[in-house]
């Protein structure tokens, strides 16, 4: 099943203290929860691509969310992957 997901799209994720922000060079979405971010990413990808199977990776931009002195201890503080089938409603 996972092998069917051919396109991979990457997002940087940050939290501004109130909302989550996921962005890359083409897409910028904001939501109060990660589930809301997932749904907004799916909506934007459907607008742009129409259909297909997408692997979406999200990595916390720790440089903007974690104090500098702790970077060396948390190089991958937050990393998640979701799979989106744009052919499904």
Q: What is the pLDDT of residues 37-72, one digit of tens each?
A: 999 999 999 999 888 899 999 987 666 666 666 666
pTM for the predicted model, two decimal places: 0.78
Question: Rounded mean pLDDT of 9-27?
Answer: 91
Tell whether the model's pLDDT for residue 4 goes beyond 60.
no
Q: What is the pLDDT of residue 87?
A: 85
**HSE value, Cβ hemisphere, 13 Å, CA-based, for 42:** 15
Domain residue extents for the chain? 2-85
Range list of H helices, the chain: 34-49, 62-65
């Amino acid at each position: 099943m996972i092998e069917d997901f051919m396109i991979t799209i990457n997002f940087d994720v940050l939290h501004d203290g109130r909302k989550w922000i996921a962005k890359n060079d083409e897409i910028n979405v904001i939501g109060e929860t990660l589930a809301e971010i997932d749904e907004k990413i799916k909506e934007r990808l459907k607008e742009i691509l129409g259909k297909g199977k997408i692997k979406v990776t999200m990595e916390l931009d720790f440089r903007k969310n974690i104090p500098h002195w702790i970077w060396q201890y948390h190089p991958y503080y937050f990393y998640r992957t979701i799979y989106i089938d744009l052919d499904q409603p």
